[in-house]
A = this chain, B = another copy of it.
Amino acid sequence: MPELRKDPLTNRWVIISTERAKRPDEFLEITPDQDAAALEECPFCAGNEIKTAPEITALRPAGGAPNSPGWSVRVIPSVAPVLRIEGSLEQKSDGVHSAVSGIGAHELVIETPHHIRSLWNLPDEQIRSVIQAYIQRIVDLERDPRFKYVMLFKNYGKAAGEGRFRHSRSQLIALPITPIRLRDELGGSRLYFQMKQRCIFCDIIRQESETQERIAAETASFVALAPFASRFPFEVWILPKNHSSDFTRMPPPQQSDLATILKITLGKLCAALGDPPLNYILHTAPFRRPHPGYWQTIDNDFHWHLEIMPRLTRVAGFEWGSGFYINPITPEETARFLRRAVFPLPPEPRPQQPVTEEGKNG
C-alpha cells in the first residue's frame, strides 16, 4: 500500500509508492529513447484495447461498445499507479511524523486512436475532445469525497518522463491532499485579493497585454505568456483572459479556443526548439469541500492556468537546495522568439503501427 508522508518541517508531502519499487541496483537503468512501437504493438492504438486494463470512459462519437475500436479519446487506469484507488483514507501519526494512506486515482488519457506522438499534430477538433475528456474526468473524480484535487499533466519526451510508447497521452492523479505548489499559489492570490480586491492573474494579464513584451500568442479567449519570473527557459503559461478559477466550468466555445491556443503554443515550441521534451500541468481550483465561504474567495481570487515547461536545462543541487531557479533566457526573449516561430508545422503522417517514430518531428 503506498503511503503519503508529510515533511514535519515544511508541510511538503511525499508519495512513498513502494508498489512501483525497484531494487536498489535497478535505479540507474537506461530506458531507450526509441519508440517501443517499433518493436511491439502499441497498447494505446485503436484495435489494441485488450492490451490495457478496461477503460474508465471513452468518447465514442459514433457509439460502440466499451473496450472496442471507435473511440476518439480513451481513459484507462495507469498500469503503474502511484496511488491506490481502493481503501479508506486513514491518518497515521507517530511522534513528529504524520502520514495518510496512499489513496488516489491514477489515469491515462489517450488523446488519439492513431499512433501520433504530439498533441499539436492532432486536428483542432480532436484537441477539443481531449479537453472535454479532461473536464469529464475531473468532474467525475470530484464526486469521490476522498479526493481534494486532481493533478492533470503531460510528460512529453524521455527527459520529461514519457514512457516507452510515443503515443500522445496525458495523466491524471487524484489526490487526498491539495498539493503544496497549488496551496502556495492559492495563498499568494488570496493575499493579493485581500490587499487590492482584484485577482492577481487578471492584473498580470492586463499588464502583460499592455506591454506585449512577454506575450507569446493570443486567441479571442486565451493568452500564452512567458511569466516574468520564469523558472525554465521557454516556460509559457496559458491563461483564460476572462476571470475563472475553475477549468471544469469552461464554457464550450472556450474549449475550442483553448484547443487552438494549445496547438499554436505547443506547435511553436516544437518548431522553435526542435521538438523539445516538455511537461505541462494544470493548476485549477481544488474541489469544493467543507468551508463554503472559503470557496467563494477562491472563486474570486484564483485563476486557472496551464503551465508549459520545456525540459532543456538540468536542474542541479543549487535549485533543489534553494528553490531558486536559474534561467539562462529572459522571458522577453522567449516571447519574442515564439512570436516569430512559424506554425502550423507540416502535419505528422498517420502510420499504421507497428512503426518507428525515429526522426519524426525534427
Contacts of A231 in B (CB 8 A): 12, 14
A175 to B20, CA, bound (A): 39
Q: A15-B326, A17-B327 are in contact. Are A318 and B6 (CB under 8 A)?
A: no
Q: How many copies does the complex hold?
A: 2
Contact between A181 and B322, CB atoms less than 8 A apart? yes
Contacts of A184 in B (CB 8 A): 9-10, 12, 323
The listed residue (B27, B309, B333) touching A273 by CB distance below 8 A is: B27
Contacts of A173 in B (CB 8 A): 318
Contacts of A160 in B (CB 8 A): 316-317
A182 proximal to B (CB < 8 A) = yes
A302 to B180, CA, bound (A): 22
Q: A14-B327, A283-B321 are in contact. Are A227 and B316 (CB under 8 A)?
A: no
Contact between B273 and A25, CB atoms less than 8 A apart? yes
Q: A21-B329, A283-B321 are in contact. Are A185 and B316 (CB under 8 A)?
A: no
Q: Could you tell me the distance in whole angstroms from the C-beta of A82 to the nearest C-beta in chain B? A: 5
A304 proximal to B (CB < 8 A) = no
The listed residue (B27, B155, B171) touching A233 by CB distance below 8 A is: B27
Contact between A153 and B329, CB atoms less than 8 A apart? no
Q: A9-B185, A15-B325, A227-B7 are in contact. Are A27 and B313 (CB under 8 A)?
A: yes
Contact between B228 and A5, CB atoms less than 8 A apart? yes
Contact between A6 and B229, CB atoms less than 8 A apart? yes
Contacts of A151 in B (CB 8 A): 318, 321-322, 324
Contact between B24 and A324, CB atoms less than 8 A apart? no
Interface flags for A329-349 (1: CB within 8 Å of B; 0: not) read 111010001000000000000
Contacts of A307 in B (CB 8 A): 320-321
Interface flags for A2-46 (1: CB within 8 Å of B; 0: not) read 000111111111111110111011011000000000000000000
Contact between B192 and A8, CB atoms less than 8 A apart? yes
Q: Which one of A15, A328, A337 has the highest number of Cβ atoms from chain B below 10 Å of its Cβ?
A: A328
Q: A15-B324, A330-B18 are in contact. Are A316 and B155 (CB under 8 A)?
A: yes
Contact between B318 and A153, CB atoms less than 8 A apart? yes
Contact between B14 and A182, CB atoms less than 8 A apart? no
Q: A179-B324, A192-B8, A229-B5 are in contact. Are A153 and B317 (CB under 8 A)?
A: yes
A189 proximal to B (CB < 8 A) = yes
Contact between A228 and B327, CB atoms less than 8 A apart? no
The residues of A with any CB-CB pair to B shorter than 8 Å are 5-18, 20-22, 24-25, 27-28, 82, 94-97, 151, 153-155, 159-161, 171, 173, 175, 177, 179-182, 184-185, 188-189, 192, 200-201, 203-204, 207, 227-231, 233-234, 272-274, 276, 279-283, 307, 309, 312-318, 320-331, 333, 337
